[in-house]
Amino acid sequence: MLSIDYIRENKQKVLDALKNKNREADIDGILTLDEERKKKIQEAQVLREERNRLAKQKFTEETKTRGKEIKELLKTIEGDLAIIEEKLNRVSGYRGYFLKNQGAILHMALLLYVFKKLTLKGYTPMIAPAIIKKFTLFGSGHLPWGEKELYKLNGEDDDAYLSATAEIPITSYFSNEILQEKDLPKKFVAFSPCFRSEGGPTAKTQRAYIEYMNSGKLNK
């Protein structure tokens, strides 16, 4: 997905690209909505600053009345913002996308290129598992402090999590083993899906994947 800033700064380039790809998009509408969003955010900021100033003043009927007015105005603006954000997300979507044809081939080629390049430098290429045990998270330092950013799977196995990064299972690859100094260092380049609860659109996609995993459909 193109960022709003890029579309604004490269409007004609985007329009030409849409024409060349025989695609349709209301670019002017997107930019208008973004301007409205910015305006509403600025209005809300001004009102919040006024509310903060009022809070420091002596309480009077006048400040009380104005405080209520600000509260209602902010409520209205926040409602308008929610509508604008919804419209922007129908027309521009989140940053997920499909890769097909040359795009899909290029994506896989880049992964293979990196794997080959680092393999030649002495790294062992690995595809790491996406589902991991709790002890791996302690071993990599993601627990206990990172509990809120992790996804836990529900089901018969109550000790199953989705990996936040490939380094977690890789760090535990030699668990319960004693490595000899002469065999060190161990160097790996690993690939795996990564799931972290960081908020925003990406987190929604991750949560949808988890709900699918928890539904038990994979066992059918």
pTM of the model: 0.49
DSSP string, 161-208: EE-SSTHHHHHTTTTT----GGGPPP-EEEE--------HHHHHHHHH
Cis peptide before 201 (omega within 30 of 0): no
| Per-residue model confidence (pLDDT) at position 96 | 59
- Domains contained in the chain, CATH given: 4-92 (1.10.287.40), 102-219 (3.30.930.10)
In tens, the pLDDT along 175-190 reads: 999 999 999 999 999 9
In tens, the pLDDT along 157-177 reads: 778 899 989 999 999 999 999
